[in-house]
Amino acid sequence: MTAVKAADVDRFIARPDPRQPIVLIYGPDAGLAHERAEALAKASVDDVNDPFAFVRIEGDELAGNPSRLVEEAHTVPLFGGRRAVLVKAGSRNIAPAVEMVVAQPSNECRVIIEAGDLRKTAPLRALCEKAKTAATLPCYLDNAQAIGNLIDEEMRAAGLTLAADARAVLAALLGGDRLASRNELRKLALYAQGKERVELADVRAVVSDASEQELDGVLDAAFAGKTGDVETEFGRARAGGSAASAIVSAAIRQAANLHKMKLAADSGDSIEFAMKRGTPPVHFSREKIVGDALRAWSQPRLLRAMEQLADASLEARRQPALAEAIAQRTLLSIAVAARRRET
């Protein structure tokens, strides 16, 4: 068996075993699997931006051309050095392609496979767990200790401390998806710029999801690209008492939730199933419009949308008199981007 225990996964990524050049990273926490796959890629090559040293392959491409993976694994880098291939498993079976590289592993290239939640009997997981040249790294949902470590890591990086009551509430609000949790913490750090300590009021203003159902209309319109409805729904939200800053914060959480569902869909889940597994699950009355949003946005574009919204949140705090205009303009920009469906 080559399955790495969950407690030892980070240690393996920091110092990968050269005797196991094939690594399967999988589990129910899609955000954590993605984060670890990217970290392992950076640990495996000198420069992930060098196309001769690092190659990304969509798993569905391998289903029709299984020999491509072993060919990539044995390609000699043009300028020498280490090489890695990152495969993002999709909805199609790529076990035959992985079986070929298991039979002919390369000591000069690390093959990293990022997958979703795989049953023990899944062909890809069973294959990698049996192979001596492969390691399997499970990614389970963060427990209390892992959430605490993540909070400490992000707050330390931002030069911030946390009030005890703020930390307790923050820890209770995080978990379920590592990437979503990290995005929430970075959003909180942006909100708290200029302070030395994060207080409970800061956490409640940025991270908690109270009264967000009242904002579903404007958020859904923005991310589904319904530019004509954004202004109307924004006006209703404001008339209902929602502050402009609260609307932007809710939009950041919406983007993070969409990103989590998109990760699941890109890992092989249907969009409908991904919505049912959302945190919280998407209400049946919103399934169509949220499904439209998931089809319109890619993972990278959702990350960029979160950055845009975080910038807007900071700008609105700096210029409170213009907060409403900043929030409305940003949501309209999000809606226009959704309609373009760019890559």
pLDDT more than 70, % of the chain: 94
pLDDT greater than 80 at residue 279: no
- Whose structure tokens read 């859904």? 220
The helix or strand, by DSSP H or E, that contains position 295, with its residue range, turns out to be helix 287-296
Encoded amino acid at 267, one letter: S
**Both structure tokens of 100:** 């070929």
In the chain, residues under CATH classification 1.20.272.10 are 144-340
- pLDDT surpassing 50 at residue 327: yes
* Banded pLDDT at 96 (limits 50, 70, 90): very high
Enter the tokens of residue 125.
Answer: 């997981």
Quote the mean pLDDT of the chain: 87
Cα 279 from Cα 277, distance rounded (Å): 7
Overall average pLDDT of the 246-253 stretch: 88
Nearest to 27 by CA among 154, 145, 151, 178: 178
Q: What 3-state DSSP class applies to 104?
A: coil
How does strand 54-58 pair with strand 197-198?
Answer: unpaired
List own/partner pairs for 128-131 with CB under 8 A and 24 or more apart.
Answer: 128/2, 128/22, 128/24, 128/98, 128/102, 129/1, 129/2, 129/3, 130/1, 130/2, 131/2, 131/22, 131/102
Phi/psi for 48 (5° steps) reads -70, -10
Q: What percent of the chain has pLDDT over 90?
A: 47
pLDDT at 82: 85
Tell the burial category of 64 from Cβ atoms under 10 Å away from its Cβ (0-12, 13-18, 19+). Answer: exposed
CATH 3.40.50.300 placement within the chain? 6-138
What's the predicted TM-score (pTM) here?
A: 0.58
Quick one: which of 111, 112, 118, 184 has its CA closest to 151? 184
Residue 172: per-residue pLDDT: 76
Q: Coil, helix or strand for 95? A: helix
Give the tens place of pLDDT for each residue, 223-235.
999 999 999 999 8
pLDDT in tens, 185-220: 988 998 888 889 999 888 877 775 434 556 889 999
Report the CATH number of the 144-340 domain: 1.20.272.10
25 pLDDT above the threshold of 70: yes
Provide mean pLDDT across the span 24-42.
Answer: 90
The matching CATH number, chosen from 3.30.390.10, 3.90.1170.50, 1.20.1250.20, 3.40.50.300, for 6-138 is 3.40.50.300
* Candidate from 144-158, 277-291, 309-323, 324-338 with smallest mean pLDDT: 277-291
pLDDT at 277 over 80: no
